[in-house]
Amino acid sequence: MPEGDSLHRAALRLRPLVGRRVSANSPHPRGLATGVAAAVDGRVLESVEAVGKHLLLRFEGGVTVWSHLRLSGRWRVGPAGSTGAGRPWLVLRAGGLEATQWSGPVLALDERPVRRLGPDLLAEATEPALLVARLRRAEPGRPLGEVLQDQRFVAGIGNRWMSEALWAVRVSPWLLVGEASDEQLLEALGWARDAMRAAVVGARPQRAVYRRARRPCRRCGTPIVSRGQGADNRTAYWCPRCQGP
Ligand SMILES: [Zn+2]
């Protein structure tokens, strides 16, 4: 699933359309059924904001479009007329550019779900120290790996960056959040934020543990292990030796 850095990259690609009056249409019937194209056609796009794994496009007149890509959705931006075969859910055209949204699966005139999210990890205004206090609101008996992906506390981290961050700071995703020190939480959040910010501008860091089950740990050679975690059964990856059991 795309994590916060992917959504920030999508927001950057869409930014050249900001301040322009867009023409909109929905070639895909499911996109058409959302009513989004009709609501934004002819309006000025005022801002594009990534919040965690969500994208908010604000248009003049107080119209806001909420986009969540889940596993299958994506945004593309290119010169007008560059969209080839296929039927995107939404096409926005302005200033010689064409932004297309493919496969939804969430595209709506509704920003309420985004209001329930915690602060976006990658936002300039978000201080990792304040996020530590938010993580302390979680039930102390929940594993840290699961809590870091709970978007109500911190928005943007999924199982890839959770796994990579906890490996980097040598903390097990199974450590109970109530037993993690403030320093461990701060270190993990800080590492994730730095790595995800670098990824927004194109850095492609070598994966240490994510999708590397049974392959040797890059630090100690112990085979990486993986297991589903939390109600959503998102796979955690970790080194049982340098991150503890
Ligand atoms: Zn190791």
pLDDT digits (tens, 9 = 90+) for 60-109: 999 999 999 998 999 999 999 888 789 999 999 999 999 999 999 999 99
- What are the residue numbers of the active site? 2-3, 53, 234
CB-neighbour burial class of residue 13 (10 A; exposed 0-12, middle 13-18, buried 19+): middle
CA atoms within 13 A on the CB side of 196: 31
pLDDT more than 90, % of the chain: 92
3-class DSSP assignment, residue 112: helix
Task: Provide the pLDDT for residue 140.
Answer: 97
Q: What is the mean pLDDT of the chain?
A: 95
> What are the Cα distances from residue 11, in Å, to 72, 166, 172?
17, 27, 32
CA 177–ligand 1 middle distance (angstroms): 21
The DSSP letter of residue 35 is T
* Å from CA of 218 to ligand 1 middle: 7
> How many A from CA of 243 to the centre of ligand 1?
7
In the reported structure, the alpha carbon of residue 168 is separated from the centroid of ligand 1 by a whole-number distance in angstroms of 10
How large is the average pLDDT for residues 125-134? 94
Kindly give the interhelix angle for 4-14 and 182-200, rounded to the nearest 10 degrees.
30
Helix (H, G, I), strand (E, B) or coil at 46: strand
* Model confidence band, residue 245 (pLDDT cutoffs 50, 70, 90): low
Instruction: Supply the pLDDT for residue 139.
Output: 96
Cα of 209 vs centre of ligand 1, distance in Å, is 9
Determine the distance separating the centroid of ligand 1 and the alpha carbon of 68, expressed in angstroms: 35
Mean pLDDT of 116-143: 95
Residue 233 reports pLDDT greater than 70 = yes
pTM, two decimal places: 0.90
In the block, residue with structure tokens 């199982």: 159
Is a pLDDT exceeding 90 seen at residue 154? yes
